[in-house]
């Protein structure tokens, strides 16, 4: 069977993580700027300075055999204030970026929201306020109007689960809250806003397709017992279904709502919203795959949520236990983990892709996949054989799934070049291209993986060393 001829081979970025230039071109603060500055954390003020390097960066992608770039638009660069006034300078910046993509034969794959909510909206309650959903709808309409001629692939949201979970429950992303009730409200509002965005896109008859990007964690169980199967269903609702079922089928998983309704207020879910969610489902699914969610039955104790993304020195202690639901298996001696506790498990992608395909029958893009490590970037070329092997095995998993009939249409390495890894700072590196953040010029240096990926993209995957599990 094999990959289709027009398979998209590219890499991914996000506005706050790469652009820098936070005070340039009329951009206003995002919730991340305020939260990081107020908390005294490392910021993305400069990041990879894509704002000033995009021509060079896009050319480098094309030279590296890539035919697509996943990027996001920064809401605070496009909409100036609560009244919704447009910042034309921001619009011009993105039009230039998109035209540069066109010039180099790079298909843009564009996320409307990758976590950088304007601070003026956060001050009105952010994702806890239903009004933010309507502000998103207006912002999305502006994006479709201003950039619709240059874009074929749109994404409403990047990873609703990850940013609401960290922002409202774990508390290590802005706004830094610790409340399950708030997470439920924020998460629901994001999914409703996504449906409003899809409606605006469909009603405006813009060209192309619109989807959502999910932090995909296919669920595995420790054994075949009934208790584990129940834990797996809880874990699947928690990790995947409330996003994928809602976005793809227009249905919030009912068993999840039944369980939540016993302890939480679900009045944010209004009857008049439901037909919008039902009728405006996505055209495709973007899956970011880093690892599986491997679970065992809940054995007791309080809910514990420790996520290893809180600063550069914090490592090796991740823990997810949800009271009454499930426990995530960590530190298994037979598994391989990165320094940040992420299990390397490409087989999970193969299995997960088949499950998603069977369940939703929508085209799939792997919108992020990569490995974060510390690297010495002062050398001429980073010899990142570990990244090559990681990507090889995951692409092999995708090709196996395609051979089994799954409709996967593209692969995006995370990330195009080294960038700001949120609370981890810049030293957790994912890039195919290295950036020395201590060098004023922020010189780009392709790593070994950049050249390897070029040969893979140019051979449309033929050069992958196939694995089967």
Residues 55 and 214: their CA atoms lie apart, in Å, by 29
Chain center to CA of 461: 23
Q: What are phi and psi of 307, to 5 degrees?
A: -115, 130
Residue 414 within binding range of ligand BGP, rule CB under 6 A: yes
Q: Which of residues 163-202 bind ligand BGP (CB under 6 A)?
A: none
Residues 280 and 301: their CA atoms lie apart, in Å, by 40
Query: Smaller CB distance to ligand BGP: residue 61 or 213?
Result: 213
Q: In what order do the strands lie in the sheet with 293-297?
A: 219-221, 293-297, 326-328, 319-322, 304-306
Chain center to CA of 33: 19
Query: Smaller CB distance to ligand BGP: residue 76 or 297?
Result: 76
Query: Smaller CB distance to ligand BGP: residue 30 or 158?
Result: 158
- Using CB under 6 A as the binding criterion, the count of chain residues that bind ligand BGP stands at 15
Q: Which 3 state secondary structure label does DSSP give 9?
A: strand
Query: Smaller CB distance to ligand BGP: residue 108 or 370?
Result: 370
Residues 79 and 31: their CA atoms lie apart, in Å, by 14
Choose the binding region for ligand BGP from 25-33, 155-163, 315-323, 405-413 (rule: CB under 6 A): 155-163
CA angle 283, 289, 293 (to 5 degrees): 115
Residue 162 within binding range of ligand BGP, rule CB under 6 A: yes
**Which of 3, 7, 9, 14 is the binder for ligand BGP (CB under 6 A)?**
14
Q: Distances from the Cα of 356 to the Cαs of 254, 360, 365, in angstroms?
A: 18, 6, 12
Element (H, E) at 15: helix 15-18
* Smallest distance from ligand BGP to CB 425, Å: 10
Residues 321 and 328: their CA atoms lie apart, in Å, by 6
- Letters for 262-301 (x = contact with ligand BGP by CB under 6 A, - = none) are --------------------------x-------------
Q: Which of 122, 182, 343, 368 is catalytic?
A: 368
Query: Smaller CB distance to ligand BGP: residue 125 or 425?
Result: 425
Query: Smaller CB distance to ligand BGP: residue 428 or 454?
Result: 428
Q: Distances from the Cα of 111 to the Cαs of 71, 286, 339, 344, 375, in angstroms?
A: 6, 10, 29, 26, 28
Q: Which of residues 115-154 bind ligand BGP (CB under 6 A)?
A: none
**Which of 166, 281, 310, 424 is the binder for ligand BGP (CB under 6 A)?**
424
Which residues have C-beta within 8 Å of that of residue 234, sequence separation ≥ 6?
A: 259, 322, 325, 326
Residue 50 within binding range of ligand BGP, rule CB under 6 A: no
Q: Which of residues 87-116 bind ligand BGP (CB under 6 A)?
A: none
Residue 421 within binding range of ligand BGP, rule CB under 6 A: yes
**Which of 116, 122, 159, 384 is the binder for ligand BGP (CB under 6 A)?**
159
* Smallest distance from ligand BGP to CB 215, Å: 5
Residues 44 and 421: their CA atoms lie apart, in Å, by 9
- Letters for 361-380 (x = contact with ligand BGP by CB under 6 A, - = none) are -------x---x--------
Choose the binding region for ligand BGP from 1-9, 29-37, 380-388, 416-424 (rule: CB under 6 A): 416-424
**Residue closest to ligand BGP when measured from CB atoms:** 421
CA angle 124, 126, 127 (to 5 degrees): 140
Choose the binding region for ligand BGP from 19-27, 58-66, 140-148, 418-426 (rule: CB under 6 A): 418-426
Q: What are phi and psi of 188, to 5 degrees?
A: -65, -45
Residue 11 within binding range of ligand BGP, rule CB under 6 A: no
Which residues have C-beta within 8 Å of that of residue 344, sequence separation ≥ 6?
A: 291, 335, 336, 337, 338, 371, 390
* Smallest distance from ligand BGP to CB 162, Å: 5
317 in active site: no
Q: Which of 122, 159, 182, 327 is catalytic?
A: 159
Structure tokens at 96: 């230039």
Query: Smaller CB distance to ligand BGP: residue 157 or 280?
Result: 157
Q: Which residues bind ligand BGP (CB under 6 A)?
A: 14, 17, 158-159, 162, 215, 288, 309, 368, 372, 414, 421-422, 424, 428
Catalytic residues: 159, 368
């Amino acid at each position: 069977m094999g990959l289709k001829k027009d398979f998209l081979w590219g890499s991914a970025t996000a506005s706050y993580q790469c652009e820098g230039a936070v005070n340039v071109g009329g951009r206003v603060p995002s919730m991340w700027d305020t939260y990081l500055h107020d908390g005294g954390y490392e910021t993305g003020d400069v990041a990879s300075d894509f704002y000033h390097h995009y021509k060079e960066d896009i050319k480098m992608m094309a030279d590296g055999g890539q035919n697509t770039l996943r990027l996001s638009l920064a809401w605070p660069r496009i909409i100036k204030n609560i009244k919704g006034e447009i910042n034309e300078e921001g619009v011009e910046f993105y039009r230039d970026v998109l035209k540069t993509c066109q010039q180099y034969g790079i298909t843009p794959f564009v996320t409307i929201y990758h976590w950088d909510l304007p601070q003026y909206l956060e001050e009105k309650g952010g994702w806890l306020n239903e009004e933010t959903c309507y502000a998103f709808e207006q912002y999305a309409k502006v994006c479709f109007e201003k950039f619709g001629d240059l874009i074929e692939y749109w994404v409403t949201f990047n990873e609703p689960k990850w940013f609401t979970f960290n922002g409202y429950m774990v508390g290590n992303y802005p706004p830094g809250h610790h409340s399950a009730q708030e997470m439920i409200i924020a998460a629901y509002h994001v999914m409703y806003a996504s449906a409003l965005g899809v409606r605006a896109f469909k009603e405006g008859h813009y060209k192309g397709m619109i989807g959502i990007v999910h932090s995909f964690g296919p669920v595995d169980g420790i054994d075949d017992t009934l208790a584990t199967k129940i834990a797996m269903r809880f874990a699947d609702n928690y990790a995947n279904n409330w996003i994928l079922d809602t976005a793809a089928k227009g249905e919030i998983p009912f068993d999840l709502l039944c369980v939540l309704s016993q302890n939480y207020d679900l009045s944010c879910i209004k009857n008049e919203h439901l037909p919008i969610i039902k009728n405006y489902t996505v055209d495709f699914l973007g899956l970011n795959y880093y690892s599986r969610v491997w679970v065992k039955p809940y054995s007791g104790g309080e809910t514990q949520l420790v996520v290893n993304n809180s600063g550069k020195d914090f490592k090796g202690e991740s823990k997810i236990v949800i009271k009454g639901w499930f426990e995530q298996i960590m530190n298994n001696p037979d598994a391989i983990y990165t320094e940040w506790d992420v299990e390397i498990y490409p087989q999970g992608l193969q299995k997960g892709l088949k499950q998603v395909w069977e369940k939703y029958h929508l085209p799939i893009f792997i919108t992020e996949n990569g490995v974060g490590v510390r690297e010495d970037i002062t050398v001429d070329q980073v010899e990142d054989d570990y990244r090559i092997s990681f990507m090889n095995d995951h692409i092999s998993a995708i090709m196996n799934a395609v051979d089994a009939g799954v409709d996967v249409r593209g692969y995006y390495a995370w990330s195009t070049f080294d960038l700001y890894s949120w609370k981890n700072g810049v030293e957790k590196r994912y890039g195919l291209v290295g950036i020395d953040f201590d060098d004023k010029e922020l010189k780009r240096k392709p790593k070994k993986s950049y050249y390897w990926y070029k040969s893979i993209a140019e051979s449309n995957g033929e050069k992958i060393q196939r694995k089967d599990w």
